[in-house]
Amino acid sequence: MSGEVGGGRKVFEYALLRVVPRVERGETMNAGVVVYCRARSFVTARTHLDEARLRALDPQADLAGVRAALHAAEGICDGGDAAGQASDDAPGRRFRWLVAPRSTVVQPGPVHTGLTADPEAEAERLLDLLVR
């Protein structure tokens, strides 16, 4: 599968990054999006933490810890030293690692697919639409 569709559009995948401050309550809030486009060998994470909203869900939430986890997701996507052990991994492998289920305060949502001519602009569009 080349990922190429008419009009220069490419298949891409994305998942939301959700903050789950108190798992026993089952409440989540969207705080980021991870976008991967195999055809462009592109992966990125865009994040935005609404601290007031998080405090409304859990006044005792560890804001610094949540910010650090979101920043780490961005670093893994960026590659290089910021990606730590994943620094030499291909973009697709870094994406799969970020969207693997986990039991932490920051968790990925389900993976969705779409078509785009510009995966970087798509990441910003999704952040605006689903997070901000």
77-125 tens-digit pLDDT: 988 777 677 777 889 999 999 999 888 899 999 999 999 999 999 999 9
pLDDT (tens digit, 9 = 90+) per residue, 1-56? Answer: 456 666 789 999 999 999 999 888 889 999 999 999 999 999 999 999 999 999 99
* Cα–Cα distance measured from residue 87 to residue 75, given in angstroms and rounded to the nearest whole number: 9
* Cα–Cα distance measured from residue 97 to residue 67, given in angstroms and rounded to the nearest whole number: 19
Number of CB atoms found within 10 A of residue 100's CB: 8
Q: Which amino acid is at 126?
A: L
Nearest to 16 by CA among 29, 36, 27, 30: 30
SS3 69: helix
Q: Identify the helix (H) or strand (E) that includes residue 113.
A: strand 112-116
pTM (2 d.p.) = 0.89
